[in-house]
Amino acid sequence: MEFDLNAAAQVVVTRLDGYLSALAASAPKIVIALVIILLTWAISRLAGSLEGRLARRMHLRQNLTDVLLMLTRVLIWTAGILIALTVLFPSITPGKALTTLGLGSVAIGFAFKDTFENFLAGILILLREPFAIGDYVECESVEGRIEAITIRDSRIRRTDGQLVVMPNHALFQNPVTVRTDKDLRRTTIICGVARSEDVDNARDVIRTAVEALDTVRSDIKDVQIFAQSFGDASIDFEVTWWTGSSPLEIRQSRDQVVAAVKRSLDDAGIEIPYPYRVITFAGPVPVTLSGSTDAD
């Protein structure tokens, strides 16, 4: 069978003519769809600008502002694309498109369950603001300073310099201790003095030493000193005071208090006892003196 070049060319021309005719017939719809896309872009930009100004007036976090802008743009673009599709393809109604989109969203939701869980948790954390960037928090044995909060995870810088990237759902579902929620935090040490010492005098010496320190906020909250218990060889005092809430301030203040209490007790001649041990034996123990002889 010989190949008929003229017949093939005629078929191609006929097909192209049909395509061009269909394109010419659809040209008004294409133009309208492009106009809708342009309007969607303009509305998205305008809504983003207005929302940004409103967020600044309300003093919202930048991360929360970015999330709200993203959600607004997604909704506007989804609506604009659906309208453009119904103009181009009249057989696709908004109801059918939404149904298809819903089924697809269910499938995507199952496939990316953890991602969406972190996304929703991030939005709720940004809306509720249980902690802010710069706060020191503890959650699931992770303790450190919040450096960033995104819609998927939060960045926590530990006090040893290591960075922990924690999924938002872990911070949302588990108890979180915000150590810097207030400017002041209470801290406590145990100090023991010998049982032979006067308890009231020892308490006064400790109180005077602690209240004189600049890291102890005795002007706001009183220093509390209580005789707590009988130790092995001591009377144990519970010394409690208020200082700054950051981990560094806690460590600095504890260092100053321990040093000042030790110095003051030494100056007052009050003994901080070593542990005493009493050893008993079940029977007599022979003792031999060094250098002794039978004649002795």
20 and 51, same domain (yes or no)? yes
CATH number of the domain bearing residue 100:
1.10.287
198 and 235, same domain (yes or no)? yes
Q: Which residues are CB-neighbours of 92 under 8 A, at least 6 positions away?
A: 85, 86
44 and 84, same domain (yes or no)? yes
pLDDT in tens, 210-250: 999 999 998 888 999 999 999 888 899 999 999 999 999 99
CATH number of the domain bearing residue 154:
2.30.30.60
172 and 214, same domain (yes or no)? no
CATH number of the domain bearing residue 197:
3.30.70.100
157 and 212, same domain (yes or no)? no
In a domain, 22, yes or no: yes
pLDDT in tens, 11-39: 666 776 666 666 666 677 778 888 888 88
169 and 217, same domain (yes or no)? no
pLDDT in tens, 61-103: 666 677 777 778 878 887 888 788 777 776 666 666 656 555 5
Query: Distance between CA atoms of 139 and 176, rounded to whole angstroms?
Result: 5
Please state whether beta strands 177-178 and 184-194 pair in parallel, antiparallel, or not at all (unpaired).
unpaired
Q: Please, where are the H alpha helices in 129-239?
A: 168-173, 199-211
Angle formed at CA 146 by CA 140 and CA 149, multiple of 5 degrees: 95
Query: Distance between CA atoms of 85 and 87, rounded to whole angstroms?
Result: 5
pLDDT in tens, 256-291: 999 999 999 999 999 988 876 777 877 787 877 766
The count of domains in the chain is 3
Characterise 291 by phi-psi region: left (phi > 0), alpha (psi -120 to 50), beta (else).
left
Q: Which residues are CB-neighbours of 295 under 8 A, at least 6 positions away?
A: none
In a domain, 135, yes or no: yes
pLDDT in tens, 106-153: 555 555 567 777 778 887 887 777 888 889 999 988 999 999 888 788
Check residue 101 and give its pLDDT.
Answer: 58
In a domain, 273, yes or no: no
Range of the domain at 190: 184-267
Exposed/middle/buried for 31, CB within 10 Å: 0-12, 13-18, 19+? exposed
Residues in the chain: 296
Q: Which of 120, 147, 178 is the last residue of a domain?
A: 178
Check residue 47 and give its pLDDT.
Answer: 83
In a domain, 200, yes or no: yes
Q: What is the strand order of the sheet 234-244 is part of? A: 184-194, 234-244, 224-230
